[in-house]
Chain A
Amino acid sequence: MIALSPIFVLSFAIAIVLFLLFVFKLSTKGCAILTVCGLTCALICSVMVGYKISFNIQAITDISSDNMQISASISNSTKELNPSSEKTIAIDTVSTETTESSPNESETTNIDGNIDNKNIDTNSNSMNNSNIDENSSDKWKAHHITALFTCDGYGLLYTSLILMISISIACFAYRWFKQEQNHHGLFYLILLFMALGGVTLVYASHLIAFFIGIELLSIPFVGLIGYQYTQTHSLEAAVKYMILSAIASVFLLMGIAFYYATTGELTFSGLSYQLSTMSYPSLLLLIGVCLMLVGIGFKLSLVPFQLWLPDVYQGAPTIVALLLSTVGKVAIFCAIARLFLLAPIVNNETIRIILVIMAFCSILWGNLLALMQSSLKRILAYSSIAHFGYLLTALIAVQYQVLALETIGVYLIGYILANICILGAISLDSHSDELQDHENEIDLSGLFWRRPILALTMGVGLLSLAGTPLTAGFVGRFLLVLLGVTAELWWLVAAVVIGSALGLYFYARLIINLYIRPVCRDDLISSKSSIKLKWTDIRISELIIVLCALLTMLCGIYPKWLFNLVSMAQYLTT
């Protein structure tokens, strides 16, 4: 049961916040602190459980590597490489985990001191345990919790990622609301609900849990998008999102029903068994899969279903756009990746072709339309369409399990970091009481001369999205090409090449825009010397985005840790 602790902690936090909010009318600050505390506790739980589980998995997989039967021979070879450097893997990942979560921990002054000690203690304990007797640590194996949830390294990795994003967003939101007097505790409540939805989704191993997770994730979004309804386009975006998301959910539900009608199973593992025993898939099943693809396509905004995304991005507050592009998509993507890994749907030729076309069109559409936009949020919306097109490639080539998982993990981490850098920077530059966030090209031009730190981190984020070397995006792009060539998906590889070349153009334009010295106000600035930076201005939020930028660079320069972190997060096969 302790494996489900992130979910319990989150629910508990929601209850507390709800109670305090309605009984004591908690202020924004109190709510923010409580939210961050709750999220951090959940994060600590998930990191600990995840570490212990993946440590044990390492020991198990190299004894019996034959339970990876679905995978092609590629997984075996990479497996052979793993054990030789097992010691270093274990040690390295601990350090990255702690560095990634340490700044978030240090914000919450209440429990600050204990965490590090605890982490180290538990790590050493588990080391001893596993050395002495491996059988006794049964509790830490990846396992199913009832039929609804699975607890494994894969899920816990993405759980921790989602929680980290939520923590940083809670910090950004506090800065964003700072100039208003009203209480904004409700925002944090919705944020917590959304985090709970994301975590549930990642844990899900049953189609009903999957559906509940998606709903729990998308319904709070309606509230978040329309939260600051005084801003322009806000209500339009909220209504648009609500209607489309409801339709998508219906399609998804219909698809699930068709699944159930054909196979009589709702668990992922049961589906996988049924599909593998079936000689050829029935028409009903194909329709079911297609209906599910429609629903998923809406949520991930893949090409025929992508039109809502730019409008919603533009209307939503920047932090919510950040949530949409990271948590909202990453959680769904992980759940689907788990479904695809377990149930070999992609082996069907028809579904495969549909997916290839979707990915191809998404990449081209996203990159082409982004060329003509002037609002940064719209550009990012299109780029997010393109990026999920890239990621779909990994999903199509899912039969190369190890490589595909590695690609998904590395690419998603790079994508999340870059998005936090860019959208976080925009949200720090704007306030909630204005009509619009500062996201037009004119607002942003010459940002470097006003707020150098924001401009630098934003530059790093954009470079990472464009996939230039020295950033995490480059490593992800490389793995993508590697995977595409391995799986011989030449059309998609071509799309990746064209897409990156096109993408470079608009990313580069944005970057240059940040650094152009504003001509007309040149004398003003030099005379006032207003760009003098005071160290006291740097707050937690700035620290977070600077850290994200640094991590992006680190992952680009020395990606070994990133690779090990992702390869540790095995998922449960049966």
Chain B
Amino acid sequence: MLLWLVFLPIIGGFIGWLCHVCLQRGVVSANVQMRWSKLPIIVAFITIFLTLLMSILLWIDAINILNQGGNWVKEVNLEWIPLLGIRFHLVLDGLSMVVITSTLFIVLLTIIYSSKESLNNLGLFYLCLLFMTSAIMMLFVITDLFLMFFFWEAVAIPIYFLISLWGRRDSSSQLRFNGASKFLIYTQFSSLLMLISIVSLALINWNLTGHWTFDYQELTKTPISSDTEFLIMLGFLAAFIVRIPFVPFHGWFIEAHIESSTTGSMMISGLLLNTATFGLLRFVIPLFPNASITITPLMLAFALLTVVYAALLAFNQNDIKKLIAYIHIALMGFVTAIIYSGSVLAYQGVVIQMIAINLAIVGMFIISGLLVECYSTRNINQFVGLKERVPYLSSFTLYFILAVLGIPGTANFIANYMMLFGSYNAFSYYTILLVFGLLLLSISFIVRMQPIFYGVVDKGITIKHLLSKKDLLLLSSILIVLIFIGLYPQVVLDMSYAVANQTQQYITTERVGE
């Protein structure tokens, strides 16, 4: 079941691609080709839908077991490279369940949205999309560090192609290539540093125990001197910080968003960044609890810098996608700061926040795509009189702005509340500073977005631009999910409690030990 869950998307992607190729090569009449040209979309949609159903089934199963007080974990353990003790070891627990479901949901939305962008070579496009989905889901369940690195890099390739081949239409291929390769080089460089760390960790373990293993559950038991631990952790952090992205290294994120289409932005924001925060929770803190405590002040300072810097820059953005990207960076900085707080409550908040931010930001990107469609520009100053021009869109926009900022009733509110509440115990002054940072963020976002609702529209050219039913459905489905989690977060909390508790154990035992 777990293997199917992870591999189904990529199998679907290949089927879609083959369909597309056969269609182009085998079928002669142009008429039939036109009629079936949407086939890859349908295949992709069905695949993701099935996967989502499967994950929901797993979820139900998990709830049943959790209600009986059991510990719900699904495992697959296969051999991969026996010579070096690398095993294909997947563990699906509550935390990964939550993130995987949200990932699948976002991919489903992306596929529906992408059907309106006329792209060339649909088959390869959906192969990239589904391959990326598979790789990201694999990242969420893998426990072998080598394979974690493998998929960490594998994720980057489809994104590279999404940006450079199917990126923004109105920019030249050279610009798109620059944006995409900037992303790829940032990723490659930082992740090779992580590879060095992984290898040294395995080597230390091998020196002590005499057998190779890359399984992080076994490597957590490796005793390391604190200096080495610190150095090794820096390698891991290099990879994660670049992908979060923290402020000095956020260049790729902005450029990737500018150069990619709306679909690409949705995939990058919705899927990619989660892997970094998840990696911090799953790998860095359990593997290096001691060093994590040492580096906490530095990370907190950087996180605060990220929040404030991104918020300040957001004041000055005219491009709507850039604006959203900066907001996302700020929010991710906030989440990272909380990860270092080390309280169960905050961790559970982080889990909810990871879903909520992604959904809200993906919603914002859909809206930006629709706005660009109506006004055919991305300059915020040109968006005037939204209410007159496009019915419904203005209310959706307002709702999503508020959701990103976290008003009560949305999932973001619950998450913010829990995170701040949890971290206040750990470091109270810093939390206050962080709240100010968030405040700055809200102000800048509202200041930038508010003018689009007002303004005088020329009566002569007012043609009401109607939203299609599909877009309405997309936006309202995100809205419903956000409100549902906001009103009844217990579903997610139950699932993630065990893992959050476990992670917190690592840090607290270190603290007590000191």
Q: Find A504's partner among B185, B195, B203, B210 (CB 8 Å cutoff).
A: B185
Q: Is B177 an interface residue (CB 8 A)?
A: yes
Q: List 14 A-B contacts (CB under 8 A).
A: A77-B206, A81-B211, A468-B156, A468-B157, A481-B196, A481-B199, A482-B203, A485-B200, A486-B199, A497-B192, A501-B188, A501-B192, A512-B180, A560-B80
Q: Is B164 an interface residue (CB 8 A)?
A: yes
- Asked whether, in the complex, the Cβ of A497 is within 8 Å of the Cβ of B193, the reply is yes
Within A556-574, the residues touching B (CB, 8 Å) are 558-560, 563-564, 567
Main secondary structure of the interface of A (DSSP, over half): helix
| Residues on B with beta carbons closer than 8 Å to the beta carbon of A482 | 84, 199, 203
- Asked whether, in the complex, the Cβ of A559 is within 8 Å of the Cβ of B154, the reply is no
- Asked whether, in the complex, the Cβ of A493 is within 8 Å of the Cβ of B196, the reply is yes
Nearest chain B residue, comparing its CB with the CB of A74: B206
Q: CA of A512 to CA of B165 in the docked complex: distance in angstroms?
A: 7
Main secondary structure of the interface of B (DSSP, over half): helix
Q: Which residues of B contact A (CB under 8 A)?
A: 25, 79-85, 120, 146, 149-151, 153-154, 156-157, 160, 164-165, 173, 177, 180-181, 184-185, 188-189, 192-193, 195-196, 199-200, 203, 206, 210-212
Q: Mark A30-52, 1 if CB is under 8 A from B, else 0.
A: 00000000000000000000000
Q: Which residues of A contact B (CB under 8 A)?
A: 77-78, 81-82, 85, 406, 463, 468-470, 474, 478, 481-482, 485-486, 493, 496-498, 500-501, 504-505, 508-509, 512, 515-517, 532-533, 558-560, 563-564, 567
| Residues on B with beta carbons closer than 8 Å to the beta carbon of A517 | 120
Q: CA of A267 to CA of B359 in the docked complex: distance in angstroms?
A: 70
- Asked whether, in the complex, the Cβ of B82 is within 8 Å of the Cβ of A508, the reply is no
Q: How far is the CB of B75 from chain A (nearest CB, A)?
A: 20
- Apart from A478-B195, A501-B189, A504-B188: 16 A-B pairs, beta carbons within 8 A: A77-B212, A81-B212, A469-B150, A469-B151, A481-B199, A485-B196, A493-B196, A496-B192, A498-B189, A504-B181, A504-B184, A508-B164, A516-B173, A517-B120, A559-B80, A559-B81
- Asked whether, in the complex, the Cβ of A478 is within 8 Å of the Cβ of B146, the reply is yes
- Asked whether, in the complex, the Cβ of B82 is within 8 Å of the Cβ of A469, the reply is no
Q: CA of A496 to CA of B196 in the docked complex: distance in angstroms?
A: 11
- Asked whether, in the complex, the Cβ of A406 is within 8 Å of the Cβ of B83, the reply is yes
- Asked whether, in the complex, the Cβ of A515 is within 8 Å of the Cβ of B82, the reply is no
- Asked whether, in the complex, the Cβ of A486 is within 8 Å of the Cβ of B195, the reply is no
Q: How far is the CB of B148 from chain A (nearest CB, A)?
A: 11
Q: CA of A498 to CA of B79 in the docked complex: distance in angstroms?
A: 32
| Residues on A with beta carbons closer than 8 Å to the beta carbon of B149 | 478
| Residues on A with beta carbons closer than 8 Å to the beta carbon of B185 | 501, 504-505
Q: How far is the CB of B31 from chain A (nearest CB, A)?
A: 14
Q: How far is the CB of B112 from chain A (nearest CB, A)?
A: 26
Q: CA of A486 to CA of B188 in the docked complex: distance in angstroms?
A: 21
| Residues on B with beta carbons closer than 8 Å to the beta carbon of A468 | 153-154, 156-157
Q: How far is the CB of A88 from chain B (nearest CB, A)?
A: 8
Ordered nearest first, which 10 A-B pairs have the shortest CB separation?
A469-B154, A501-B189, A497-B192, A485-B199, A469-B153, A469-B150, A482-B199, A563-B83, A512-B164, A508-B181
Q: CA of A515 to CA of B212 in the docked complex: distance in angstroms?
A: 41
Known: A469-B150, A469-B151, A469-B153. A500 touches B188 (CB 8 A): yes
Q: Find B81's partner among A474, A504, A516, A560 (CB 8 Å cutoff).
A: A560
Q: Find B196's partner among A497, A505, A564 (CB 8 Å cutoff).
A: A497
Known: A406-B83, A482-B199, A512-B173. A469 touches B165 (CB 8 A): no
Known: A469-B154, A485-B200, A532-B25. A515 touches B165 (CB 8 A): yes
Nearest chain A residue, comparing its CB with the CB of B155: A469
Q: Find B79's partner among A469, A481, A533, A560 (CB 8 Å cutoff).
A: A560
- Asked whether, in the complex, the Cβ of B210 is within 8 Å of the Cβ of A77, the reply is yes
Q: How far is the CB of A371 from chain B (nearest CB, A)?
A: 11
- Asked whether, in the complex, the Cβ of A486 is within 8 Å of the Cβ of B203, the reply is yes
Q: How far is the CB of A439 from chain B (nearest CB, A)?
A: 20
Q: CA of A496 to CA of B192 in the docked complex: distance in angstroms?
A: 9
Q: CA of A23 to CA of B376 in the docked complex: distance in angstroms?
A: 76
Q: CA of A493 to CA of B192 in the docked complex: distance in angstroms?
A: 10
| Residues on A with beta carbons closer than 8 Å to the beta carbon of B83 | 78, 81-82, 406, 563-564, 567
Q: Find B184's partner among A469, A497, A508, A533 (CB 8 Å cutoff).
A: A508
Q: CA of A470 to CA of B210 in the docked complex: distance in angstroms?
A: 29
Q: How far is the CB of B260 from chain A (nearest CB, A)?
A: 14
Nearest chain B residue, comparing its CB with the CB of A463: B157
Q: How far is the CB of B134 from chain A (nearest CB, A)?
A: 11
Q: CA of A230 to CA of B120 in the docked complex: distance in angstroms?
A: 41
Q: CA of A78 to CA of B81 in the docked complex: distance in angstroms?
A: 12
Q: How far is the CB of A528 from chain B (nearest CB, A)?
A: 13
Nearest chain B residue, comparing its CB with the CB of A531: B24
- Asked whether, in the complex, the Cβ of A512 is within 8 Å of the Cβ of B195, the reply is no
